[in-house]
A and B are shown apart, each in its own frame.
Chain A
Amino acid sequence: MRPLRNLQPKIVPISVPITYTSGEQIEVYRFSIPVTVGAPLLALFLQAFLPRRLPFFSIFDLPLLVTIFFAMARRNPISGLLTGAAIGLVQDMLGPYPIGIYGIAKTVVGYGASSLGAKLDVENVGARFLVTMGFYLVHAAVYFTVARGMVNLTLDWSWSRGILAGLANALLGVGLYFVLDKFKQRT
C-alpha cells in the first residue's frame, strides 16, 4: 500500500486582511491615480493659498487631514507612511525652514493612522473625530520635537492653542472625509 503523502494538508498563504470593523470584515479601499495625486496637491495648494485670504484658515492643516484619510482608508502602513512622507516633504519645500520637519511628522502620522485604521472602525464619525484630533497632537509633538531638537527653532507649545487647533482640524476632517469618501474604490 502506497503511503498517502499527498493527502497531508497544504498551507497556502492568504493575503486577506483579518482585521475587522464593528464586527464586520474590514474593507480596504484604493483610489484612482488622479485622486491619489490630485487630492494631496489640492490640499497643499489650498493650504498655501487660503491663509492669505482667510487668515483664520492658518489654524488648519489640510495636508495632515489628507494624510490621515488616505492612511486610514488604505490600511496599509507602508502606503500610509510613504504618503505622509511625500506630502510632508512637499509642504517643507514650500516653507522657509529645512526640508524634513513636516516630512518626519507626517511619516509618523501616516504610519500610525494606517496601523490604527487596520484595527478600529474608522468609518464612524466619532472615531474619525477622535482619531484626527489625536493625530493632530501627535503630529504637533513630533514637529516640535524635531524643530527644537534638530533645527533649533524656538517654538513655544501652547496647550490651549494645540487643543483648539486639534478640535478645529477634527471638525474639518470629519467633513472632508465625508467628501473624500465619494472617491473610494473597493478593492
Chain B
Amino acid sequence: MESLLGRYRNLTILVAVLFLQVLGLAVQVKRSPDAENTRLIRRWAVDLVTPFERGLVWAQNGGNNLWHNYFFLRGVRAENRQLKEQIEQMRLEQVRVREDATQAHRLQSLLAFKEQFIAKTVPAQVIGSSGSDLSWSIYIDKGSNDGIAQDMAVITSGGIVGKVLRVYPATSLVLMINDQSSGVGAMLEKSRLQGVARGTPNGELILDRVMSDEKVTPGENVLSSGGDQIFPKGLPVGTVSQVGPGREMFLSIKVKPTADLSRLEEVLVVTEKQERAPVAAESGGSVRAADILAQRLPSVPDKPPEVAGASPAGTAASGATGEAATGAGEKPQAHDAVPSLTGTGTTVEVVKKVTPKPATGDSATNGGARNETGSSPALRATSAASSPTPKSATSPTKPAMAPPKPSNNAPTPQPATEDSPH
C-alpha cells in the first residue's frame, strides 16, 4: 500500500487537494452562499488586494483632478454657457413635472399609498472588481465603518447598479444587476408590466417573466418596481433593446442598463430609506388648505348672515363647483358629492371670492384634493374658478373691501383631515 502511494504520489496529492476543495465547496453550498463561514478568509484576500487598488485609484484621481482643474480648462466658458441654458430649460421642465408629481401624489394620498423614498446616500468610489470575467461585481471604498450594510441598494445618477453583497470594514463587494445571480424587481414604464431584471453569464441584462402575449417595444424604459425590497420604486434600470420569443410562455427581453456598468467610477449607496405616504403639498405646519386659498384670493366684504343662507344661490354655485374640484386643468369630479354642498351659505360666499382670480397654484389644487377626501363643501366651492361659474355666484366687478377672511369664520363643517393636511 505504501509503495503504491509512493508510486502514485503526485496523483494521490492531486486527488487529496481536489477532494478537500470539493468538500469545502459542498459545505458552503449546503449552508448558504451568503453565510458567514467564509467571511474571515475572504476578508484576508480583500485586505491583501484592496489597499493597492485604493492607492492606485487615489493617485489616478489626483492626477486627473490636477490636470482637469488646473491645466486643461479649455472650453470651460462655452460649457458653462451651455449648462446655464440647460438649467433654464430644465427649470421649465421642472414646473411641468412638479405639477404632474403633485397630481400623482394627491391621487396616491387618496388611496393611502405608501412609497419608499431615498432618505440618505453615501457616495463611494469603485476601486476594483472581482477579478473574474464570469462574475459581475465591483469593490467600493466604503464599508461597515461608513454605515454600509448588506443588501443596500447601489445606484448612480443614471440608474441602479446593484446591491451590497458583502461588507468589510473599509470596503464592500457590490453584486451588479447584470450578474447572473442577481435579480431586480422591474417594470416597464409605459405598460407597467412587471418582471424580473436579471443578468446573463456574459454580462447582459434581461427582463424575465413577461408573458409572451404582452406587447413590448424596443426603446421602452424599464424601472425598478420596488418589489424586491432593496431598490426603491421608480429608479431607472435600463431601456429595452431587443424583444423576441423566449422560453415557455415568456418573452426574451434584452435590456440595456441605464447606468454604464462597465465604466463605473463613483456610485451612491442608499443607506436609508423612508416609507411614508406621499404628501400632496409641501407646506408645513397645520395650515389648512382653506386658509391658504383665502390668502391667495382677493377679499370680498363680509356678507350678512341672511344672505349667506340664501339657498338658491348656494344651489347654483354648488352645481357649478361640483365639476371642477381640483382647480385648473383637471377633469371634473363626480357629482355624487354635490348634494352636500347645497344650501350652505358658506358655499356661496367662497364662490364669490374665487371668481375674480382663479386659483391655479399648487396650494389650491392640493387643498382641493385634501378636501375631497373629507368632502368639504367649502373647498369644492373654491375650485369653481376654473369652471363655468354661474353668473349669480360671481361678482368680478366687486371691489375688495375687506382683508382676507379666514375660512374658519364660516360655519362650514370641516373634516378632520383638513385640520391636519400633513
Nearest neighbor of A91 in chain B, beta-carbon distance: B131
Q: By the criterion CB–CB under 8 Å, are B130 and A52 in contact?
A: no
Complex interface: chain A residues within 8 A of B17 (CB): 81-82, 85, 107
Q: By the criterion CB–CB under 8 Å, are B13 and A95 in contact?
A: no
Q: Report the minimal beta-carbon distance from B148 to chain A, rounded to whole angstroms.
A: 16
Complex interface: chain A residues within 8 A of B44 (CB): 93
Task: Pick the contact of B33: A41, A85, A97 (CB < 8 A).
Answer: A97
Q: Is B28 an interface residue (CB 8 A)?
A: yes
The A-contacting residues of B in range 110-152, CB under 8 angstroms, are 126-135, 137-139
Q: Once the chains are docked, how many angstroms separate the CA of A151 from the CA of B200?
A: 16
Chain A contact residue count (CB 8 A cutoff) = 51
Nearest neighbor of B32 in chain A, beta-carbon distance: A98
**Consensus secondary structure, chain A interface:** helix
Q: Is B24 an interface residue (CB 8 A)?
A: yes
Q: Is B41 an interface residue (CB 8 A)?
A: yes
Chain B contact residue count (CB 8 A cutoff) = 51
Q: Is A183 an interface residue (CB 8 A)?
A: no
Complex interface: chain A residues within 8 A of B10 (CB): 77-78, 81, 111, 115
Knowing A91-B131, A150-B26, A154-B201 touch, does A49 contact B56 (C-beta < 8 A)? yes
Q: By the criterion CB–CB under 8 Å, are B134 and A143 in contact?
A: yes
Nearest neighbor of A57 in chain B, beta-carbon distance: B133
Chain B positions within 8 Å of A, measured between CB atoms, are 9-10, 13-14, 17-18, 21-22, 24-26, 28-29, 33, 38, 41-42, 44-46, 48-49, 52-53, 56, 126-135, 137-139, 165-166, 173, 175, 179-181, 200-202, 262-264
A-B contacts, 6 of them at CB < 8 A, read A49-B56, A52-B126, A55-B263, A60-B133, A93-B44, A104-B22
Chain A positions within 8 Å of B, measured between CB atoms, are 41, 44-45, 47-49, 51-52, 55, 58-61, 63, 77-78, 81-82, 85, 89-91, 93-104, 107-108, 111, 115, 143, 146-147, 150-156, 158, 161, 165
7 closest A-B pairs by beta carbon, nearest first, are A93-B45, A100-B25, A48-B131, A98-B28, A95-B130, A47-B131, A77-B10
